[in-house]
Chain A
Amino acid sequence: METEFRAKRAAGRKLLVPYITGGYPGWQDAVRACAAAGADAIEIGIPFSDPVMDGPIIQQASQAALEGGATPVNILHEIRSLDVSIPIAVMLYYNTVHHAGHERFAAQLRSAGVVAAIVPDLPLEEAGPWCEAADAAGVETVMLAAPTAPDERLPRVAARSRGFLYSVGLLGVTGERTELAATAAALAVRLKAVTDVPVLIGVGVSNAAQAKEAVQVADGVVMGASVVRRLIEGGAEAMGEYIAEVRRAIDE
């Protein structure tokens, strides 16, 4: 994914990565709709019982997916048969990996065609064993950088990140906000100064206008709650229209 993202960035394109909760009714259609509407990669959430980095919308989608019988195994199985041309990343909580075993899980991702993993409760100090297994299997591990990090920490987080670097937009969990937090641009600027890994702002980027504002400083955006809400309220089609609207805004 990183090679592709770097090439697109070099060509002047801003990167758009929507998040879809795996296992939520209609999620596969939603992934295809994202790809068709101009997403550069898709982040598929593997639902977890205790999603501490997620606010109400994504919690609701995760719970619905779990109640519908979603498991990491069947989601990965379905990802394999998705047939979309853009890279697929997964977002999951560490116990899903820990329980399966690092090597085994990395191999499962690889064989499902997943190219990258985002594990929001696995900070730099604890990430070593998983990152080694993922590296060996050819799966990129995207690290998150947060506004609370001192300057000294950012280059170390960036150096361990593969695929892209996830610049956490605000202090808080996923969810829509009326404005892009001031911390979003500030952190992206700090990160751009210390790394050439593509920097994408995620958490709290809530509409097309905010996405446009974010890509003034960042290489792209990850959008979750606003995407999932449209999937919940209007299905894959309404969600696809929304992704297309964001695409137009960041291409302007």
Chain B
Amino acid sequence: MSLMAEPSASGRFGEFGGRYVPETLVPACQELEASFIEAWADPVFRAELDDVLRTYAGRPSILTECKQLGAKLGLRLVLKREDLNHTGSHKINNVLGQALLAKRMGKKRLVAETGAGQHGVASATAAALFGMECKVYMGAVDVERQALNVFRMKLLGSEVEAVHSGSRTLKDAVNEAMRDWVATVETTHYCLGSVMGPHPYPWMVREFHRVIGQEARAQCIEEFGDVPDVVVACVGGGSNAIGIFSGFVDDRSRLVGVEPAGGAAVSRAQPGVVHGMRSYLMQDEYGQVQEAHSISAGLDYPGVGPEHSYLASIGRAEYPNVTDAEVIAAFQLLARTEGIIPALECAHALAWIVRAAPTMQGQTVLMNLSGRGDKDVAQMMDVLAK
């Protein structure tokens, strides 16, 4: 059996996961679980999703070998180009799946949280495509540093609400989206943006991103005749990482999820419960959730999806972290050596590769380039001017 099989009946991966939600939301989570199981087994649904992924999102995404940078680092560096998807990141895979499912369930409105704005833009895009109403919650700090994406969401016809509570970042946007959902659950689907939250989200979102790993594995076998030695991705909630890991979890490949130093939930290995799930969580001595701090809005999150906690706890995947300074250097490095401007999120993955390169000489390293960096250009202009 695959290491990434279905979670237990209570939605657990080992001792992580579960469904810690207000009673009001329990029936909605149960309904979503039942609808997902039914749709995922239905060839008509699968064909509809495959079709929209191919003809709208632009799948499959290509592999790009970084010849210059690889030579510089002494390894073979290969990128899975999720940045080339429509809307500019991997987030669209999950959103198209959830939006089609919401439509099937008769829900006419989506709510979503967003950090970097990529999930918000993807949700706004799907809402426009399928004629649904959409409201996106975004921390006030992120509204400022990802202003371009705020405008894109509005242009696509969605409402964006800045969240001023708590740390005013992704964690607080999730709280506010959940509060909205508690009040509107009868008409609204909560389009959660990562492999987190209450069961069935971590599982369902993983299944919608499995396509990344499936494609990547087939592409690696075809182009290099083997699976990569190392598979690397950045981890906020962990959806792009789980997507690419899913293709290689049962192979010999080493799996590496890279967190920001200021949001390194897995390294601290302290289980907690927030946002509907039991998982590793940054918290103080009384269980108050701590604020994460990262240059990248999409990774500025004190928790992590439960399946990553599980993979870490059994030693199948490792979760190092990198500093903002390393990320800024990696961001520029990829632009200059390969002509690709990465999102700050996946620049974390590259930052780790640069650091660990001396220990991976001659190896094939597959990195998930989860998004493009256009959204970060204004922020980086300020950072680099200093």
Contacts and interface: CB of A to CB of B under 8 A. Distances in A.
Interface of A: 48-53, 55, 59, 63, 66, 71-73, 94-96, 98-100, 120-126, 143-150, 153, 157, 168, 170-173
Given A148-B28, A171-B185, 7 more contacts: A50-B172, A52-B175, A96-B287, A99-B272, A120-B23, A126-B18, A168-B24
Given A49-B288, A63-B165, A71-B286, A94 B273 contact: yes
A21 to B, nearest CB: 15
A95 B165 contact: no
Contacts of A153: 26-27
Contacts of A96: 286-287
A-B residue pairs, 3 tightest by C-beta: A99-B287, A172-B183, A146-B24
B274 A122 contact: no
Contacts of B10: 125-126
Contact of B23 (A66, A100, A145, A150): A145
Given A49-B166, A123-B21, A95 B183 contact: no
Given A50-B289, A52-B179, A73-B286, A94 B20 contact: yes
Given A98-B272, A126-B20, A171-B185, A55 B179 contact: yes
A117 B192 CA distance: 30
Given A50-B274, A52-B179, A148 B286 contact: no
Determine the interface band of chain B, counting residues with CB < 8 A from chain A: 35 or more
A65 B223 CA distance: 59
A159 to B, nearest CB: 14
Contacts of A124: 23, 26
B283 interface: yes
B182 interface: yes
Contacts of B275: 50, 52
Interface string B155-173: 0000000000110000110
Contacts of A144: 22-23
A121 B286 contact: no
Q: Counting chain A CB atoms within 10 Å of each CB, which of B21, B165, B278, B287 scores highest?
A: B287
A95 B184 contact: no
Q: Counting chain B CB atoms within 10 Å of each CB, which of A51, A55, A172 scores highest?
A: A172
A63 B185 CA distance: 27
Interface of B: 10, 18-28, 165-166, 171-172, 175, 178-179, 182-186, 271-276, 278, 281, 283, 286-290
Contacts of B273: 94-95, 98, 121
Given A52-B175, A73-B286, A95-B274, A59 B165 contact: yes
Given A96-B287, A98-B287, A122-B20, A172 B182 contact: yes
Contact of A52 (B22, B272, B283): B22
A146 B179 contact: no
A123 B175 contact: no
14 contacts: A49-B289, A50-B274, A50-B275, A52-B178, A59-B165, A63-B165, A73-B286, A96-B286, A99-B287, A126-B18, A126-B19, A172-B183, A173-B179, A173-B182
A66 B288 contact: yes
Contacts of A121: 20-22, 273, 276
A157 B26 CA distance: 12
A2 B271 CA distance: 33
Nearest to B283: A99
A148 B287 contact: no
A66 to B, nearest CB: 7
Q: Counting chain B CB atoms within 10 Å of each CB, which of A72, A96, A125, A143 scores highest?
A: A125
Contacts of A48: 287-288
B286 A72 contact: yes
Contacts of B184: 171
A31 B24 CA distance: 29
Nearest to A119: B20
B175 A50 contact: yes
A150 B27 contact: yes
Given A59-B165, A121-B20, A171-B182, A100 B287 contact: yes
Q: Counting chain B CB atoms within 10 Å of each CB, which of A49, A94, A126, A149 scores highest?
A: A49
Given A99-B283, A148-B185, A125 B24 contact: no
A148 B24 contact: yes
A146 B22 contact: yes
Contacts of A149: 23, 26-27
A99 B26 CA distance: 23
A75 B248 CA distance: 49
A188 B21 CA distance: 21
A50 B303 CA distance: 13
Contacts of A148: 24-28, 185-186
Contacts of A59: 165
Given A144-B23, A146-B24, A171 B272 contact: no
B289 A123 contact: no
